[in-house]
Amino acid sequence: MTFLIRVQDDGRGMEAARLAEVLQSEQKDNAAIGLRNVDRRLRMLYGKDYGLRIESVAGHGTRAEIRIPIER
């Protein structure tokens, strides 16, 4: 079983290329360091099937999900 936290907005969203940059661990852009840290730590704790997932469409909004197992 998975515990899911989902936050969604209908704001301006972002292009796919920017979204990919945000989640790349090698990226030196400090603007998204918190998102990368949360994702990396959740994956280290719970495995590759868990962590942060972000979907965004420019002009239509963004959805962010955190997935963690209920039981380990």
Domains and CATH numbers, the chain: 2-69 (3.30.565.10)
Q: What pLDDT, on a 0 to 100 scale, did the predictor assign at position 28? A: 66
E-strand ranges in the chain read: 2-9, 51-57, 61-69
Q: What pLDDT, on a 0 to 100 scale, did the predictor assign at position 31? A: 66
Q: Note the pLDDT tens digit of each residue in 1-32.
A: 999 999 999 999 888 888 887 777 666 666 67
Q: pTM for the complete prediction?
A: 0.75
Q: Note the pLDDT tens digit of each residue in 48-68.
A: 999 999 999 999 999 999 999
**β-sheet with 61-69: strand ranges across:** 2-9, 61-69, 51-57
